[in-house]
Structure 1
Amino acid sequence: YKYLFYIDHTLQTEDGWFIDTSDLKSNQTARLISTMISITNHGLCIRFWYRASGSKQGKLNLLQRISNQQNTTLIYSIQLNFDMNWHEAFVYRETLGNYQFILEGIVGNKFTDLDNIAIDDITTNEGPCSTQKFCDFESQDICGYVHDLSDNFNWTRHRGETNSFGTGPSYDHTTYTTEGYYMYIETSAPRQPGDIARLISPVFPASKQYNCLQFYYHQYGIDIGAFNVYKRDVGGSLNPLKIFSSQGNRFDEWHVMEINLLASKPYTIIFEGVVGKSFEGDIAIDDVLIKERPCPSVGNCDFEQSMCTYKNSEKDSEIDWIRMRSDIGDNTIGIKFGTYLAFDMTSTTVPSSRALLISPYLDNTVQYCFQYYYRRYGDGQGSLIINRQTFTNMTADDLLVKHESNDFTNEWKINQIVLNPLLNQTSNVYRLLFEGISISGVGRLMLDDFEFINGSCPSLPNNCSIQCDTSTDLRQCIPTNQICDFNRDCLNGDDERLCGYDCTFESDQCNYTDSSVGVYKWRRQRAGLSVPSMDHTTLSANGYYMIVSTNNGTSDERARLLSPLFQQSSSTCELTFFYHMPGININPLEILLLQGSQRSRIRLIQGTQTDHWYQAIVKIGRLYRPFRVDFDASKTTTLTNIVIDDIRWIGCNLPIINNKRVACTTNQFQCKRGGCIDQNRVCDYTDDCGDRSDEDDLTCSRPNVIPGCDFETNLCKFVSLSNQQLRFERARADQIVHDYAPERDHTLNNLAGSFIYVNTIGQPPNSLAHIRSSRFVP
């Protein structure tokens, strides 16, 4: 993992340059001072890329100094963590004059070479920072947001403490300083209880998939009224759709919220603040972001791309929970590129130091099963306490579980907690607190794959889900993770046959289930009762298929048909099915891959279709953890039924292992787990064996060949040539949302994996981009 520290941001290689604090010792400070810069009436945007790794005592600050003066003003602050990735910061300033800007790196207790603050690619431009679908309200134009002319008063752009005691934030969320701006409602006189202020966003474009609205809000005061958020479609109903509401005192801290939006039409977001009974009711918002992907379900997080809606406590802790990667691998992917949450204990960590992670708010009217994975690494001794906290009494926590140090092992373990609704509560929400406490030694406690399941807890995986005769001529137990994994362990095939994943729908729905909300649903139907008049299996009116009828539901509804749960799939795995959906410009049928909190589109069928059955072949590829497939149909404006039939899964099993070890041929490679694959599938960045033995470093070390690159951490020895009109850039699938862009990378086969690409949108024809490999010396 250390090699990430030698990668610059510009070139994404070890050949690029950046500036850092690697020569500093504990508690030392470094300052990088700009030339004199003039700020005009248009304002100034400062952008830079940073990597800030180190103890919680360290900081990366941006200071501003007036010409010919020594005093500085703190305008931006970043707290250190152990995230090895480059991040972009942008700061808008509008105070006229000549200034110098100072990047200040403060090193905390330095205990390894990983304590390092790095800066790269500093740029400025006159005018506001163009951030498209993100607004931090640092710019005076508040990103094009406008006040509703029909309300009683306006939201106020402000920095520092509000004008009233005992209410409102003391700092913004963007910079965590008194120099950063946020929007808030001031509820002091002349405001009256029930007065309303509305802030309306710019118009966001329509999208073919769900958008995720993320925002931070602050709701502190004993007389908070209400905070409501609405979505209004352009050209739609004058009555906007309420998508979020919060009442009462949420105490002096910033909270994060994410909401899925169905964006079939252009839309605006409306933030509404309602005045409570007194001046102690200020409500604030900051850092509004529209993501062009669905949000994970509330509370679910695999930590591959972000911390989702979890956050570290702004107070009451000495250490932060941090996202990390390491050679030991996470639980989600199981390899070094996977990310987990860590409570890191070092040689300088003081015993009894605390790290406090806070969950999003959970509905107190619903029963949940909270499922998570945990393990340890190293010799560090520490404990984990999980509490439930309500807003009835913030000081009285409900202890759910305590993991002592000896509960943590060097293997990932699963645990479940039943969360029943609490009685006699004045608030309808609660949250979970994850408190890590250090004891001694060096090491880390690790968490991963948080999932909240509605209802009671499912059975935990076990080592004997079924018993059957196997190829070893012995009756054996088949564990849960080997059932519905496409590999036939039982001689009679019960471990796969009972899963019901190949389905003609002639006798039943197999194990496919409709999870739609509303009347727009998938249902099994005989062909002679609707269009089409023949199914695909029997080519007759007596055959059956699955259908979503346009006669049901309202516009924008979606019908969802979920597959059974699969444990894994091989690199050659494909899903095939037949579909019938004739019409002009029909709305889409999306095939979605669901893995933990990740949701990616793997096939899209739309446009004009003729009156025939067509076969769809969908590449699934190597997947290491449980997944489902969702057939997601949108309500159409045309009178067209969406129909599917004859679902099959092909080539999804791993190389077959015989009960007697059979030698591979000269054109084959022997997998460590057993079984053979063709030699041309070795070292192709695809785990064909199922145990990665065909892709490990020892197998793929070829000194006489130009080294390849999986682009997971950098560009390796490849260089994007700067003398071309276009450039190859490195990105993750979750960062690019266009119809042409891949939904997953090839290496990890998920949203968090990286690849290189050329952005051709809006570029003139025949523009070129070149990328150059390292030099080959025979």
Structure 2
Amino acid sequence: MFGATVGSLRLFLQSIDSRKTALIWQRTGSQGNEWMLGQSHVTLREVHQILIDASVGGEAGDIALDDLSVTEGACSPADGLYDFEEGTCGWTQEADDDLDWIRGAGHDPVLNSKPSSDHTTNTDRGYFYYLGSGSSRVRGHSARMSSPLISAGKGQCVYLWYYLSGQDPGTLSVYQELSGGGQSQLLSQSGDQGKMWRFTQAPLSNRGSDYRIIVEGTMVQNNQGIMAIDDIQLSSYPCTGPGLCDFEMNMCSWRNVMEYDETDWLRDQGNTQAPSTGPSTDHTTNSTTGYYLYVDSTVGRWGDRALLISEIFSPESTGQCFTFWYHILGHKIGTLNLYVNNRTMYGSGNSLGQHMWTESGDQGNVWWKGRIYLQHKEPFWFVFEYKKGEGSPGDVAIDDLHITPGSCDPVVEPPPTAAPTNVIAIGVGVTVMILVIAIACTTFYILRRRKANSESLIGNDMMEINVAYDLYDCELQDSVT
């Protein structure tokens, strides 16, 4: 599934007898320019058939299927992935805590609040673990759950999808506990983060010892909000770090906001299949094999938007500098905006946040560096917004996003040879005009001189009857006198 307006792909089960259907798996929007594995575990008590439904989202994108199979038994999850679809995946509740994590699904009648779907299947039949509101929840009470024992040296980074929604949903903490003793906190998230699944990651310590992953949820207040986790995965690749993404492996924690825009940001290489919609090279590797994010400017209407949202960042006392590289090429291609939002602004109805940076119009076939300095007292996140212009085609792309503590370094401007194409065109036009004027003046001067020389051969009696003189005539008159 790849494209700016690719639509959705859904998998249903339909009963042969009752003809009732149940949605068991779905994906919406672009999933990347590569083949992805989709699977769903079902338990049937009667004969069913599988229905596959693909919907067209717009004029750009493709949905393809290959290698379909039905097998008995549980699905085979990716190595190091705990999606909780088949059960607990070997995770166990701690005995010395106050509460227990609950495994449930979006259609669970016990679960009165969101999320209405899990992250794995994106349906209300998919499973996750959650801590909901209830009268038994007391401030400071916690629920701890531990993973199976993991072999030493396995995994360099832990990925986690989590859900924190509502007023005071609590604090989610993740720890690494070594079998020989010792525990270190990997990450912590708290507060209302909207009604969506969010991504976070943390590097694992490799000390030559087996270990477990501990997930802890701490309650803040009664009857307020919900906390959930899903799709915990151990990656053999190092973490990219908070706020650092070059898009070489994936989109990191950045995701499209498909509920509020008309098109998607796409991850692809310099040699994109769609012509004139992406730079020829990325910024990271300066090659056609490097990846970046771009917007397909050939589709949609004037004013259509593509929104991209980041993970949530913790504030720093010294402030922070957010740097990024952008590529904007094309006549009236549109506008690229950057916003910073937090819970206060979002809660007051400001869905985008504070407008911090903007650039529009043709910037030439070159990567430019953007940066903003910000100081926030509460956790915050970024939103990139592209608004389509009336011109087409062209490039709008971003790469190498990075946030660091402290002030921003001075901007290093690209070399003069990388000037935007409209500036070059203006310069060429002015130069040509000056050359034309110079040639005309020179030609006029030579012609008048020749005429003056021929007239100087005429007798003095003809010169005396001339009553109109110009500059050259005056010079000739003086020479005769």
TM-score band w.r.t. shorter chain: 0.7 to 0.9
Query: What's the RMSD between the two structures over aligned residues?
Result: 2.5
2:30 matched to 1:65? no
Partner of 1:418: 373
TM-score, scaled to structure 2: 0.77
Structure 1 residue matching 2:213: 3-state secondary structure: strand
Deviations 1:164-183 (A, max 9, x none): 89843121122222222211
What does 1:142-161 correspond to in 2, within 5 Å? 142-160=88-106
Q: What is residue 117 of structure 1 aligned with on the other side?
A: 63
Describe the shift of the 1:82–1:179 C-alpha distance in structure 2 as closer, same or farther (beyond 3 A): closer
**Aligned AA (1:333):** T
Instruction: Please give the alpha-carbon distance, in whole angstroms, between the structure 2 residues aligned to 1:94 and 1:267.
Output: 33
SS at match of 2:149: coil
Instruction: Name the CA shift for 1:432/1:161 in 2 (closer, same or farther; >3 Å).
Output: farther
Q: CA 1:200–1:129 in 2, change beyond 3 Å: closer, same or farther?
A: same
Decide which of 157, 162, 173 is 1:228's aligned counterpart.
Answer: 173
- How much has 1:378 moved relative to structure 2? 5.0
CA contact (8 A) 1:275 1:281 kept: no
Structure 2 equivalent of residue 88 of structure 1 = 37
Deviations 1:586-636 (A, max 9, x none): xxxxxxxxxxxxxxxxxxxxxxxxxxxxxxxxxxxxxxxxxxxxxxxxxxx
Structure 1 counterpart SS, 2:37: strand
Once the two structures are TM-superposed, the CA of residue 215 in structure 1 deviates from its matched residue by 0.5
Match of 2:308 in 1: 357
Q: Does 1:438 align with 2:388?
A: yes
Letter in 2 for 1:86: W
- Alignment partner of 2:264 out of 311, 320, 329: 320
Amino acid at match of 1:203: L
Equivalent position to 2:131, from 159, 163, 185: 185
Letter in 2 for 1:54: G
Match of 1:398 among 354, 358, 374: 354
Paired position in structure 1 for 2:56 = 107
The count of residues paired between Structure 1 and Structure 2 equals 401
Name the amino acid aligned to 1:217. Answer: Y
Asked if 1:451 is matched to 2:402, the reply is: yes
Distance 1:142 1:181, change over 3 A: same
In 1, the alpha carbon distance for the partners of 2:233 and 2:203 equals 12
The code of the aligned residue for 2:13 comes to: Q
Paired residue secondary structure (2:136): coil
Query: What are the ranges of 5 or more consecutive residues in structure 1 without an aligned counterpart?
Result: 1-51, 465-476, 480-778
- Return closer, same or farther for 1:109/1:251 CA change in 2, 3 Å cut-off: closer
* Residues 223, 279 of structure 1: 8 Å contact kept: no
1:152–1:197 contact (8 Å) kept in structure 2: yes
Cα distance in 1 for partners of 2:215, 2:253 equals 19
**Is residue 309 from structure 1 mapped to residue 230 from structure 2 by the alignment?**
no
Contact 2:40 2:121 in 1 (8 A): no
Structure 2: distance between partners of 1:355 and 1:154: 40
Residue 286 (structure 2) aligns with = 334
- 2 CA distance for matches of 1:463 and 1:193? 54
Counterpart contact for 2:111–2:132, Cα < 8 Å? no
**1:531-610 equivalent positions in 2, closer than 5 A:** none
Q: Equivalent residue for 1:298?
A: 242
When normalised by structure 1's length, the TM-score is: 0.49
- Quote how far apart the aligned CAs of 1:310 are: 1.1
With over 3 angstroms needed to count, the CA separation of the structure-2 counterparts of 1:376 and 1:93, relative to structure 1, is same
Distance 1:290-1:457 versus aligned 2 partners, 3 A rule: same
Cα 1:392/1:110, change in 2 over 3 Å: closer
Greater relative contact order structure (CA < 8 Å, 6+ sep): 2
1:259 match: 202
CA distance in 2, matches of 1:346, 1:448: 20
The one-character-per-residue Cα deviations of 1:281-304 (angstroms, maximum 9, x if unpaired) are 320011111101210121111111
SS at match of 1:92: coil
State the shift of 1:345 in Å: 2.4
Deviation of 1:350 (Å): 2.6
Q: How far apart are the structure 2 equivalents of 1:353 and 1:106? A: 20
**SS of equivalent to 2:9:** strand
Structure 1 residue 55 displacement after superposition: 4.3
Deviations 1:182-229 (A, max 9, x none): 110123133333332222111221118x71111011111113222221
- Residue 129 in structure 1 maps to residue 75 in structure 2: yes
CA distance in structure 1 between the partners assigned to 2:142 and 2:404 by the alignment: 37
2-side partners of 1:245 and 1:405: how far apart?
A: 41
What's 1:275 paired with? 219
Alpha-carbon spacing, 1:232–1:314, altered in 2? closer, same or farther (3 Å): farther
Q: Give the Cα separation in 2 of the matches to 1:442 and 1:177.
A: 37
Structure 2 SS opposite 1:283: strand
Match of 2:364 among 389, 392, 409: 409
The structure where helix makes up a greater share of residues is 2
For 1:200 and 1:454, the matched residues in 2 are separated by 33
Query: Going by fraction, where is strand more abundant, 1 or 2?
Result: 1
**Of 193, 211, 219, the match for 2:164:** 219
Q: Give yes or no for contact 1:167–1:221 (8 Å, CA) kept in 2.
A: no
- Displacement after TM superposition at 1:453 (Å): 3.2
> Deviations for 1:369-417, whole angstroms, at most 9, x for unmatched residues?
22211113555621111011111221442221011234x3322112222
What SS does the aligned partner of 1:392 have?
A: helix
CA distance in 2 between counterparts of 1:164 and 1:192 reads: 19
C-alpha separation in 1, matches of 2:142 and 2:28: 36
The residue type equivalent to 1:451 in the other structure is H
* TM-superposition CA deviations, 1:456-509 (whole Å, max 9, x none): 223333579xxxxxxxxxxxx9x9xxxxxxxxxxxxxxxxxxxxxxxxxxxxxx
- Rate the CA distance shift 1:230–1:177 in 2: closer, same or farther, 3 A: same
C-alpha spacing 1:403/1:317, structure 2 compared with 1 (3 Å): same
**Equivalent-residue separation in structure 2 for 1:137 and 1:202 (angstroms):** 13
Deviations 1:747-774 (A, max 9, x none): xxxxxxxxxxxxxxxxxxxxxxxxxxxx
Structure 1 residue identity aligned to 2:355: L
Other-structure match for 2:149 = 203
1:706-734 deviation line (CA, Å, top 9, x unaligned): xxxxxxxxxxxxxxxxxxxxxxxxxxxxx
Kindly name which structure, 1 or 2, has the bigger radius of gyration based on alpha carbons: 2
State the match for 2:457 in structure 1. Answer: none
Contact 2:331/2:361 (<8 A) preserved: no
Q: How far did 1:162 drift?
A: 6.5
C-alpha distance in 2, partners of 1:76/1:379? 42
Shift in Å at residue 82 of structure 1? Answer: 7.2
- The separation in 2 between residues aligned to 1:391 and 1:163, in whole angstroms, is 29
Unaligned runs of 5+ in 2: 272-279, 419-481
Q: 8 Å contact 1:220–1:283 — kept in the other structure?
A: yes
